Structure 1
Amino acid sequence: TAVKAATRPGRLSDGDGLYLIIKPGGAKSWVCRVQRHGNRRDFGLGSAKKVSLAVARERAREVRAWIELGLDPVFERRKVLGFPTFREAAAKVLAASKKSWRNAEHEGQWSSTMEAYAFPYIGDVKVDDITGPMIRDLLAPIWLTKPETARRVRQRVGAVLDWAYASGFRESEAPMRAITKGLPRQPKKDNHFAAMPYDKVAAFLTYLRKRESFSRLALQFAILTAARSGEVRGATWDEIDLESGLWTIAASRMKASREHVVPLTEPALRIIRRCAELRLPTSDLVFPGMKRGAPLSDMTLSKLMKEMGEPYTVHGFRSAFRDWVSEETAHPGDVAEAAYRRGNLLEKRRIMMADWANYLEGRKRP
């Protein structure tokens, strides 16, 4: 009777952390408030129209019991309701991701790799039951025969499981680092984007610094930021924020046509400061070319690689960075692959890029 009669907006207590929330529009809902180790959390228990006081009290007791046992009530409730299979979770991720893709080709590739290599092994397995060995088993048949495809499958499986973790359907993130460690090292083959093994990049960077030119500074910057050659060569001074340590690339200059914000580590900032000292008054480019007002050409950086006796491409340093992320760190795959904007993902990227810089400088994380 009291629940039905309550009309004033606010919060009414039933005791033991159970509250009836009345919104200004008249909607009523149940919330259970719990506190443990100094942390307070509220858990919604449903609408008062559909959930009676007796049921709300029972659900509140259930939440408090889970908390006392050290369990996450959100995870436990979703476990009762049922978790999605990997196939169902992949459909959710695909629907959310394709909004940002420029064409249907990405969707087709994403779907075809899942259908061919992931779904036969784990498509019908609940996301909370998928283990590292299962992922390793689906990657093993193509790891050496189709290395590029295998890496893409690994990244996409990781993205689906990271979504499941973020959505409360898994208790842990995807164990991609351990999975990669359990697979043989992929041979590097000569191709258009031949990549230098990441464990050789630090020594190469040291050698690169022995002489100075705009082309060498640009290549160093590309390695430290894991950016594309064209993005680096076209960088302008108005894109650089030294105070915040950010490089903001306009959507018009990005392959994905979306603004890209890159956090700059201290080694990268040192390069920018040095370029500021060498800045040409006639150019807005951070790394100007020989011709007035023109950027460095792609051939300039390729020629530099050949002059240094390296058979690798400039673009290959991006692959070296991604290989390092997957094989040597616990950073999620989506942080290494996404187009970064301001927010929590940018801060994760800042930490990851600092780790990359420390790796190249031979330092450990402070």
Structure 2
Amino acid sequence: MTMITDRELKSCSRTVGRYSVGDGSGLSLLVRDSAKRAPVEGGGGEGDDDKRKQWVQRITVAGKVREIGHGAYPAVSLAKARAAAKKVVEEVKGGADPLAQRRDKEGAAKAAIVQTFDAALTAYIEAHGAAWRSEKTRTAARVDMERHASSLLPKPVRDIRVSDVLAVLQPIWNTKPIMAQRVRARMEAILDWAKGAGWRSGENPAAWRGGLKPLLAKPSSVVRNRHHPALSWAEVPTFLAELRDENGNAARCLELCILTAVRSGEARGAIWGEFDLAGAIWTIPAGRMKAGEAHRVPLSAPALALLRAMLPAGDPPKPEAVTFPNRDGGVYSDMSILAVVKRMDDARSKAGGAGWRDDAGQRITPHGFRSTFRDWCGDQGHPRELAKAALAHATGSRTERAYARTDLLARRARLMDAWAAFCEGRAVEEATPLRVHAVA
């Protein structure tokens, strides 16, 4: 049998046809018309011209004639193609199926690339994102992992062990306990998804019970006394007076937070369509509430005056317009509102005062004013369930809440009037504590 030479190969490769190498291995160079190319299992190439010229080996495996590709010519030389074909012949003689082995190997390599923690994160978000309250939650799920668990993202999810999870958690477990718990819970959920999808097996290395519990401090002990620093309620009238000397919409947004006891995000994201100024009601939609339920906020006279002062001159604002817009007309970040407090704290400290601090000496936060309001309610004798309703906190068991048919709006309106009067340093009739019979 005459074997083809390199010189002959270069000449015949310009013409469509099948050219046998002639070494008994079944190897040929298949030159196709570019318009009639057909895929060859195991074949490959780099350019259109290379794909026209492919090494193909015909061999009988388990009684069936199979074609196995060995790459494109001239990227794969005649010598390399012969060596590959010879190896296949030896494997078949040994009872192996080279094509099946190749598919298994390629499949395993593909799985190792696709089934990473990053891919599992994406799939987890797609699977559960529809149940989350907002796009912000979807974004946070990825940002948390990219920021704190970036070392896991390229790792095959099946290979993640407890040591990998610990490497993520230990640097932040004691210093950022709230974030660390959120990251751990997120990792556990993603790895649970991966196990359910068949991407991994065995115990979840991010699980607390039976996994991380012996290796890390108890979460409740780490976060003890790590509440948002809050101002003593007796100091609120002085703080509010100084806050009203601050310029800018961020300061006005914080002022509304204090007068209504809402969360910073609820005030920052407020739009004019949520306010009924004539009816003195602010309805925050469910999608913007932490509990996922719409919340009606009664507006006191000072809160109404603040909002009316924010109305733009001329035509009424569009319902979708942000009530406290930043320079670009968008929503302030939480750091922008915190910056107002920091600026006031720095100014007071430079003037020789103690700054705006809580009892432990920590600078107060905007969110801390909700605690201040709650303390004021308790010390002034206002009913617990009324204060919790004003803060949009769940009261009672799920069954009790299911039977609750009122949000106590009228009574909360009187409470917020009393709170606003106190904040402004006024003594009014509404400031007298409300008394109700205890709930059985």
TM range, smaller chain: 0.3 to 0.5
With the length of structure 2 as denominator, give the TM-score of the two structures. Answer: 0.38
Query: Which structure has more RCO (C-alpha within 8 Å, separation ≥ 6)?
Result: 1
Q: Which has the larger radius of gyration?
A: 2
